[in-house]
Amino acid sequence: MDKYVYEKPADERLYEEMRRKSLQGEPVKRQKKRVKIDKKKFIRSMAVLVTVTVGVTLAGNQVYNNMSQAIQENALYGTLLDQYMEDVFYPATHHVDGTTNEIYLDYEALGDYIDSEADKKLAVSLTNSAIEAQNFTDDEDQMNRVLQETELGYDSYDQFLQNQKEKYSGYEDHSKFLKNTKTRLMNSANSNELDDMHEELSEENVLEDGGKNL
């Protein structure tokens, strides 16, 4: 089992760099120049953007408002992070050293998903986001307060979690979930190309082999 150490500062550093770069610089003309890039590279770029932006945003001072907003939109919770925690992070892939509190991530437990160092990096990044979400949602009083202030009709956090588990209970294993996550990222990146992408993925057997070829 490879040693894994929680890397919150790395995400925060990337977030700060993104914030700084977003606020400075000169206007440039939009040239509408196009290139072709590897799909895998595109997905990883999207994953970095999502995990850094969403993960740190949720973990920051605005966490209460953001999480409340996310729940209301039913966009974040119950999808990537929740399912990652439920299906991947908690049950099979981690071990906490009781003496040092260091976390060990079992890459083998991630199955076919891990086929390169870059995949490991992405898994670590997702795990970081999962920990951030876990830290927030472990506060039951806080989650109850959030849910009470939304209008989704949940009486309690337990009821909300049960609903989410039922909603996303179709995943049979980690690979299936991660494959689905990758497909979501890809499809969300350009919803207009959804059908074309799905067809391409099917042709490459990506949807049938757990994402090994993605």
Partner 1 sequence: MKDVEIVEINNNNYVILKEVKHKDTSYLYLSNLEDEEDTMIRKIKGDSIIPLASEEEFEIACNLLIKEGLI
Residues that bind partner 1 (CB under 8 A): 14, 17-19, 21-25, 27-39, 41-42, 44-46, 48-50, 52-54, 57, 62, 66, 69-70, 73-76, 79-80, 181, 184-185, 188-189
Q: Least Å distance between CB 71 and partner 1? A: 10
The answer to whether 124 and 4 have CB atoms below 8 angstroms apart is yes
The residue assigned the tokens 């977003």 is 22
| Beta carbon of residue 59, minimum distance to partner 1 (angstroms, whole number) | 12
- Smallest gap from Cβ 42 to partner 1, in A, equals 5
CA pair distance 124, 4, nearest whole angstrom: 8
**Residue among 105 and 133 whose Cβ is closer to partner 1:** 133
Closest distance to partner 1 from the beta carbon of 213 (Å): 14
DSSP bridge partners of 4: 103
Q: Which is nearer to partner 1, 19 or 95 (CB)?
A: 19
Measured distance CA(133)–CA(19) in Å, rounded: 21
Can you tell me the distance from the alpha carbon of 112 to that of 157, in angstroms, rounded to the nearest whole number? 33
> What sign for the dihedral angle of Cα 118, 107, 111, 198?
negative
